[in-house]
Each structure stands twice: as C-alpha cells, then as structure tokens.
C-alpha cells in the first residue's frame, strides 16, 4: 500500500509539473498580448468547453520528455491554438525541433506565419498534445491567437498521407491552418503515416 501511494503521488506530481509549464507558456503569451493592446478576444461562444487537456491520453515517454523540456529556456510562444470541442489550449512555438514539440506544438518552418495570410503548418506529437486529434471531425472550429489577431478556422478536410507528402502545406484558396501529427496514433515505434487536419478561415 505504501509503495502504491508513493507511486500515485509521484505520478500526480509529474502531471502537476507538466500542467504548470504549459500554463506558464500560455500566461506569458497572454501577458505579452495584453501589453500590445492589439489582440482581439475570441468569440465567447468558442470558449465554451475549453478545459485542460486530457493528459491521461499521453504516453509515459511523452510525459517524461515534457518534464525534461521544462528545464530549458524557450522564446515566448507565437500563438495559442485552441480547439474548444476537444479541450485543446496549447502554446505554439516557432520551429519543430524535439524540445519544442515536447513543450507544446510548433509552426513548421517555411509554412505561413501566424497572423498573416497563407497556410500555417503546425506540428505536434501524436502521443502528447495532438493525440486528441483522433476525435476531430469536419466542421469543428479552431482558433489561432497571435498577439495581433485571433482567427477562427473550420475543419474542412482530414486525410492520412505518407511522411514525404509536403503538398499538404501548399497554399490554399484562402487563409488556412494545417495540423500535422504522426499516424496511427497508437503505433509502436516510428509511425509510417501522417494524420493531417485542414482548416479554412471561417468567414463571418
């Protein structure tokens, strides 16, 4: 019983530690955005249901990697990605190196920039922040908040491609965002495919 209680306490401690790191990145972004006094507030209706990520979906490896990432210095997040239906609220950093993807999700270099027109590619780990994408559906809404603007996107296409298919990041008919993660979600070792979520800017 003592061993069980000790392990449970240690696990809860890791969850709390991870939660604090993610919240700190989001808080730092929001402070910077507030100071700029130019960020647009998301539609309140889109904020309904936003909650903590369900960290119980994360793999033990990803939990440990996230904890290790908290020892490193990161530049401020460039945006916050929210998917209300899935309870996603995650900082977006520039780049997709392993440290970035352990801490949050990353803008794919060479894709559109946050706050500008184009196709913004965002990558995340399938056993971490992006595991919940297995529940996403066409029509779901996503918001991407930069210090200057909040843009709402509607999921219009979901596809599975090979890792070398870079056409998924090609410019589209209008401002768009493309989420990229490995697939299958529970495949052991290196995943052979990529799960792609496309969203077009929602017109008022």
DSSP tag of 115: T
Report CA-CA distances (Å) from 3 to 7, 8, 9, 15. 6, 9, 10, 19
Q: Which of 27, 73, 125, 187 is catalytic?
A: 125
Torsion of CA 188, 84, 197, 124, to 10 degrees: -40
Check if 198 is active-site: no
Q: Which of 27, 73, 182, 187 is catalytic?
A: 182
Among 66, 161, 169, 175, smallest CA distance to 109 is for 169
Check if 182 is active-site: yes
Catalytic residue annotation: 125, 182
């Amino acid at each position: 019983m003592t061993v069980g209680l000790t392990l449970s306490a240690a696990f809860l401690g890791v969850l709390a530690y991870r939660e604090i790191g993610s919240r700190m990145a989001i808080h730092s972004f929001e402070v910077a955005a507030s100071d700029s006094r130019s960020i647009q507030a998301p539609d309140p209706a889109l904020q309904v249901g936003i909650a903590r990520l369900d960290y119980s979906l994360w793999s033990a490896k990803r939990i440990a990697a996230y904890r290790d990432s908290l020892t490193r210095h990161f530049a401020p997040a460039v945006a916050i990605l929210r998917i209300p239906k899935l309870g996603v609220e995650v900082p977006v950093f520039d780049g997709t190196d392993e440290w970035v993807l352990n801490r949050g999700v990353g803008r794919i270099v060479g894709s559109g920039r946050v706050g500008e027109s184009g196709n913004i590619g965002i990558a995340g780990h399938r056993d971490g922040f992006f595991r919940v994408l297995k529940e996403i559906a066409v029509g779901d809404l996503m918001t991407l908040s930069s210090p200057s603007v909040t843009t709402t996107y509607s999921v219009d296409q979901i596809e599975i491609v090979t890792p070398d298919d870079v056409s998924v990041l090609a410019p589209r008919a209008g401002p768009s965002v493309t989420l990229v993660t490995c697939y299958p979600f529970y495949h052991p070792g290196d995943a052979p495919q990529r799960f792609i979520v496309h969203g077009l800017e929602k017109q008022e």
